[in-house]
Amino acid sequence: MNRILIAEDEARLAAFLEKGLKANGYATTTVADGISAAALAHDEDFDLLILDLGLPGKDGMEVLRELRATGRRIPVVILSARDETVEGLELGADDYVTKPFRFDELLARVRVRLRAEGTAEATVLQAGVLALDLRTRRAAVEGRTIELSAREFALLEVFLRHDGHVLSREQLLSHVWGYDYDPGSNVVDVYVGYLRRKLGRDRIETVRGMGYRLSAGR
């Protein structure tokens, strides 16, 4: 299991990242200041660092500068609402995500960096007669290819990664629309409808009072 260090001082965002990454099979450790981030990134065996630039105690740029100066090659994905991403990349960051962001955008970048470090991951997710190719971003049902929009793809990926589990609207909003989602929105229901029209109405089951569950057919 890959270990990810999250350095983020905004408690709500840190909790959102930790919950989402754990749901996708990663072990996480979270710190809220730059001094702790630098110490753990130096001393612990983490596979990737998610680094906010606006950390108290020692800002993210200083943490990154110190890591690279000592030869530590841990992959670093920067989180920033500030226009400093170019400087971060020049200092040795591997990628960046600008706030606000969707969780699936960050997750995709994390997976790319971990694959670059030699961590193999399946490129096709499959459940029964339903398959999703992560490279072409196309779905297939019983061999029939289906084109998906970016949000439809992200929503179907979440369902496939949690095959057989009931997912609440809140969970789906969090995964696909990000941590600034509107909990009163009906956008999940709208996009589930889009997927049902493309995949077949019986592919996604409504579980009354709880949410939705993938029913891909076996």
Architecture of the domain defined by 3-116: 3-Layer(aba) Sandwich (3.40)
Of 216 and 59, the one with more pLDDT: 59
Quick one: pLDDT band at residue 122, thresholds 50, 70, 90?
A: low
Tell me what pLDDT residue 120 has: 47
Domain with CATH 3.40.50.2300 in the chain: 3-116
Q: What is the pLDDT of residues 134-158, one digit of tens each?
A: 777 789 998 899 999 878 988 998 8
Q: Report, as an integer, the average pLDDT of 86-106.
A: 79
List where CATH 1.10.10.10 sits in the chain.
Answer: 124-214
Work out whether strand 3-7 and strand 27-31 pair parallel, antiparallel, or are unpaired: parallel
Decide: 60 and 78 in contact? Cβ < 8 Å: yes
What is the predicted pLDDT for the residue at 112?
84
Average pLDDT along the chain: 86
Q: Measure the CA–CA gap between 10 and 104, rounded to whole angstroms.
A: 19
Q: pLDDT band for position 119 (50/70/90)? A: very low
Q: In the predicted model, is pLDDT for residue 79 greater than 80? A: yes
**Looking at beta carbons, which pairs linking 178-183 to residues 24 or more positions away fall under 8 Å?**
178/100, 178/101, 178/102, 178/103, 179/12, 179/13, 179/16, 179/100, 179/103, 180/100
What's residue 124's pLDDT?
84
Fold topology of 124-214:
Arc Repressor Mutant, subunit A (1.10.10)
Laid out side by side, the sheet with 48-52 consists of 27-31, 3-7, 48-52, 76-80, 95-98
Convert the pLDDT of each residue in 181-209 to its tens digit: 677 789 999 999 999 999 998 899 999 99
| 86 — pLDDT class (breaks 50, 70, 90) | low
